[in-house]
Structure 1
């Protein structure tokens, strides 16, 4: 599940951001390759938004010299915009139940 890091560069997060961007392209390519397959698979990338996870906690508690964008993660936490993992899972389940077929990258769960 890539996030905005796939589209927005963050200093100190080059490996993370590039892996998310790579996953987007991989998903799009596989979906194109599968269009005429006898038994096609379909991949879907979901941008769930910011989730209150251990990784998020590490990011917001990092020192600026370790992660220059730590303030961004702290601000999101302070403003209460982080979803819980449970809320995110429920949104993904709703998305799958609707059987969305019109995109391979979904940037909004609701």
Structure 2
């Protein structure tokens, strides 16, 4: 859902490359990429979907095909508030102190 309460749908036609794989006909805008990153985190954290399920859901809901590697990269490199809360900010006490 967008801020205005409208459902956002992205329908991209696919272009077949010389290697036989399908690609988007144009580069996605920065706004579209940010939307997809947020959607990946939402599907992963809020709905507890696996990476492969996220890929399938993006294709079904938004008509966007992304690889498993792309989704994994988004989850690893682009942190959301749920990711930051899971990752500890410092080493645990029993590992930071050295027994002398």
State the TM-score bracket (shorter-chain normalisation). Answer: under 0.3
TM-score after normalising by structure 2: 0.23
Greater relative contact order: 1 or 2 (C-alpha under 8 angstroms, separation 6 or more)? 1
